């Protein structure tokens, strides 16, 4: 997070594509090597660079209308196979500590999330993703999603087990009611804290970005129109 903006600033679009693809492949290899040595792969930065690189790759491709159209076409072909492999391997092998799953699962789910993002930006007759993700509630939560990611471990850590174990709890000793109650409380607090963070911390900082303009407003409008022309209209049936 600290050095990637500098990498983007100093690299051409082509170099960023090559670097992103290299990081995706490299992360899988690093995880495989760590697993062979009996080391944990969940938190080490180089083991998780593929997710950052997938996002970077999408951002670069989105600026090229012709490349973006190709990505959309291939995404429609591959989203179901990728989803099937990702979820199938997760439900079959989850909890087994299988080295193959540990080596590739982060890349699979990063690819699946990227595919969902591509579909959300690609209207089509048989593609419900744009309508689903245009929901006001989801759009609002999208603004606070990073804060939810940051705060939820601390909140869940404090909440889970309280209703089940505490003497003051009406759900003490009742396993499933307490699990459901604790989950709802933890989710609610996570949403609340992330919203407070957005209002008083993130949003004021984001307002500062208007002071740094890297291209003219007219250039942004023209590029957006060019990309929109490459996307199918909502009435266009999907053939792939």
- For 68, phi then psi, to 5°, come to -65, -40
- φ and ψ at residue 135, rounded to 5 degrees: -60, 130
pLDDT one-digit tens code per residue, 15-73: 999 999 999 999 999 999 999 998 988 888 899 999 989 999 999 999 888 899 999 99
- CA dist 77 and 80 (Å) reads 7
pLDDT at 237: 46
What is the per-residue pLDDT for 239?
42
**pLDDT for position 92:** 76
- Mean pLDDT value across residues 194-214: 86
User: Is residue 238's pLDDT more than 90?
Assistant: no
- C-alpha 52/C-alpha 70 separation (Å) is 21
Quote the CA–CA distance of 175 and 161 in Å, as a whole number. Answer: 10
- Going by C-beta distance under 8 Å and a sequence separation of 6 or more, which residues neighbour residue 27? 46, 47, 48, 49, 50, 53, 106, 107
- The Cβ-side half-sphere exposure at 202, using a 13 Å CA radius, reads 15
For the cut 90, the answer to whether the pLDDT of residue 226 exceeds it is no
Average the pLDDT over 74-98 and give the result.
Answer: 81
Mean pLDDT, rounded, for 65-92: 86
What is the predicted pLDDT for the residue at 82?
86
| Residues 89, 102: Cα–Cα separation, whole Å | 10
Quickly list DSSP for 79-103.
HHHHHHHHHHHHHHHTTTT-HHHHH
* 8 contacts: CB under 8 Å, gap ≥ 6: 16, 56
> Each residue of 90-147: pLDDT tens digit?
777 766 777 888 888 889 889 999 999 999 988 887 888 898 988 998 888 888 999 9
Give the bridge partners for 127, in sequence order.
Answer: 124
pLDDT greater at residue 216 or residue 150: 150
Round the average pLDDT of the chain to a whole number and report it: 85
**Predicted confidence (pLDDT) per residue in 142-201, tens digit:** 889 999 999 999 999 999 999 999 999 898 998 899 999 999 999 999 999 999 999 999
The answer to whether residue 213 scores a pLDDT higher than 80 is: no
Q: What CA–CA distance (Å, rounded) separates 20 from 26?
A: 10
pTM (predicted TM-score): 0.71
Q: In terms of Cα–Cα distance, which of 156, 178, 155 is closest to 166? A: 178
């Amino acid at each position: 997070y600290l050095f990637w903006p500098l990498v983007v600033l100093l690299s051409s679009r082509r170099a960023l594509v090559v670097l992103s693809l290299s990081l995706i492949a490299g992360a899988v290899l690093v995880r495989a090597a760590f697993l062979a040595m009996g080391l944990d792969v969940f938190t080490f930065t180089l083991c998780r660079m593929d997710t950052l690189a997938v996002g970077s790759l999408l951002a670069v491709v989105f600026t090229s209308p012709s490349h973006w159209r190709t990505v959309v076409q291939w995404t429609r072909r591959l989203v179901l196979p990728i989803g099937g492999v990702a979820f199938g391997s997760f439900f079959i092998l989850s909890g087994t500590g299988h080295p193959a799953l540990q080596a590739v699962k982060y890349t699979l789910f990063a690819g699946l999330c990227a595919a969902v993002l591509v579909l959300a930006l690609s209207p089509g007759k048989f593609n419900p993703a744009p309508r689903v993700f245009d929901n006001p509630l989801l759009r609002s939560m999208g603004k606070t999603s990073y804060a939810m990611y940051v705060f939820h471990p601390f909140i869940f850590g404090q909440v889970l087990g309280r209703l089940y174990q505490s003497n003051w709890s009406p759900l003490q000793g009742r396993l499933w009611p307490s699990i459901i109650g604790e989950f709802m409380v933890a989710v609610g607090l996570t949403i609340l804290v992330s919203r407070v963070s957005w209002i008083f911390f993130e949003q004021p900082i984001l307002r500062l970005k208007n002071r740094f303009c890297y291209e003219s407003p007219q250039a942004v409008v023209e590029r957006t129109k060019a990309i929109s022309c490459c996307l199918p209209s909502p009435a266009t049936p999907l053939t792939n």
